Amino acid sequence: MLLDFLDFAHEIGDDTKGKNITRINEFVLVGLSNVSEIQYLLFVLFLCIYLTTVLANLSIIFVVRFSPSLQTPMYFFLANFSFLEICYVTATVPKMLSNFLTTHKTITFYGCVMQMYWFLLFGGTECYMLAAMAYDRYNAICKPLQYGIILSKKVCIQLVSGSYLIAAVNALIHTVLTFTLPFCVNIIDHFFCDIPPLLKLSCSDTWFNELVIFLISGSVIVGSFILTMISYAKIISTIVNMKSNTSRQKAFSTCVSHFTVVIIFFGSGIFMYFRPKSSYSMDEDRLIAVMYTIIAPMLNPFIYTFRNGNVKVAVKRLMHQMAITQKF
């Protein structure tokens, strides 16, 4: 239905304000660099990062799935977050990698539509997933006796499902509004189809799109960020009032890891989507986009999980069980 509607809008957008609009069947992605000599080097670098991200997150899913000691709400969210990160990087990185190896760096019109939709879907879901994970830590630290009751399995599933639903609506709105604009040129000064670089290609006034970004994305990004900050504010207040130094240090260590991910993701997202079109700088934006679309998903498993003592113990137990199984 989405593609049919966009196809209709694409057909009728032949003239805007007296300008002849050429029907665009494909876009050219400029990528990270125009220097051909470093294309293979960038391919190897980002392929390693992509594989590390996918394998690290798959490892987390595997460990949580087969470790009885990790069947708690915290690790339920972490496993879902890991799955989300795999989808998030896969929405953009494979196409970028293929473009490193070819001189014809293009993506079809509808390929661009779907790439933007999936990227916004998974990115928006991550916003509310981070808020849900902060809420989980708030209940674990501030209401430990009620933790299992408040975050039942049903509630956890509802929080994850709600995150996807909100993000799906947000992604649909922005994708439709962006691709019903008339485009005068087809060269995207970026390495994937994102809203800011596509708005720069439009021949028409994009004030309405920018307003919708501010209002709706504000509800998604800023709204989830505020919810996350409320949880952390209450967590910090509880930690400060703890009498045991050991409990205080353990809780603080957990929160610092989570807070690092929150700042990286929300900080770069707010910078990217809450500026007027006139202030877009594609060279600067590409570097920031690399941070929140590629680097952050690679770091998240190490920040969130591999420093976690319970996960280390669970990994050792699984390895021990696998070694015993192989003997027999």
From the number of C-beta atoms within 10 Å of its C-beta (0-12, 13-18, 19+), residue 317 rates as: middle
Confidence of residue 306 (pLDDT cuts 50, 70, 90): low
**pLDDT > 50? residue 264:** yes
Give the pLDDT band of residue 113 (cuts 50, 70, 90): very high
Report the CATH number that the domain containing residue 257 is assigned in CATH: 1.20.1070.10
> Could you tell me whether strands 15-16 and 19-20 are parallel, antiparallel, or unpaired per DSSP bridges?
antiparallel
Instruction: Tell me which residue range forms the domain holding 34.
Output: 2-327
Cα angle 15, 19, 21; round to 5: 55
Report the distance separating Cα 298 and Cα 52, nearest Å.
Answer: 7
Domain count, the chain: 1
The lowest-confidence range among 104-108, 232-236, 310-314 is 310-314
Kindly state the DSSP code that residue 218 receives in the 8-state scheme.
Answer: I
pLDDT in tens, 150-184: 999 999 999 999 999 999 999 999 999 999 998 88
Quick check: 238 pLDDT over 70? yes
Supply the pLDDT for residue 58: 93
Q: What is the tens place of the pLDDT at every residue in 138-154?
A: 898 888 889 989 999 99
pLDDT at position 157, please?
Answer: 95
Residue 17 is predicted with a pLDDT of: 47
Question: In the structure, what pLDDT confidence band is assigned to residue 135 with cuts at 50, 70 and 90?
Answer: very high
How far is 255 from 240, CA to CA, in rounded Å? 13
Amino acid at 318: L
185-228 pLDDT, tens digit per residue, is: 889 988 999 988 898 888 888 888 888 888 887 788 888 888 88
Mean pLDDT of the chain: 83
| Residue 47 confidence (pLDDT) above 90 | yes
Confidence of residue 89 (pLDDT cuts 50, 70, 90): very high
Name every residue whose Cβ is closer than 8 Å to that of residue 232 and which is 6 or more positions away in sequence. 134, 138, 255, 258, 259, 262
Per-residue CA distances from 70 to 65, 75, 76, 145, 184 (Å):
8, 6, 8, 18, 53
Cα separation, 78 vs 308, whole angstroms: 12
pLDDT at 3 over 70: no
Q: From CA 124, how far away is CA 138, in angstroms rounded?
A: 22
pLDDT value at residue 313 = 76
First-to-last alpha carbon distance for the chain, in angstroms, is 54
Given a cut of 60, is residue 119 above it in pLDDT? yes
Query: Residue 235's pLDDT is what?
Result: 85
Alpha-carbon gap, residue 130 to 86, rounded angstroms: 15
pLDDT at 319 over 90: no
Three-state DSSP state, 287: helix
For residues 300 and 207, the answer to whether their CB atoms sit within 8 Å is no
Question: How many Cβ atoms sit within 10 Å of the Cβ of residue 228?
Answer: 25
Q: What is the pLDDT of residues 276-293, one digit of tens each?
A: 655 555 666 788 888 888
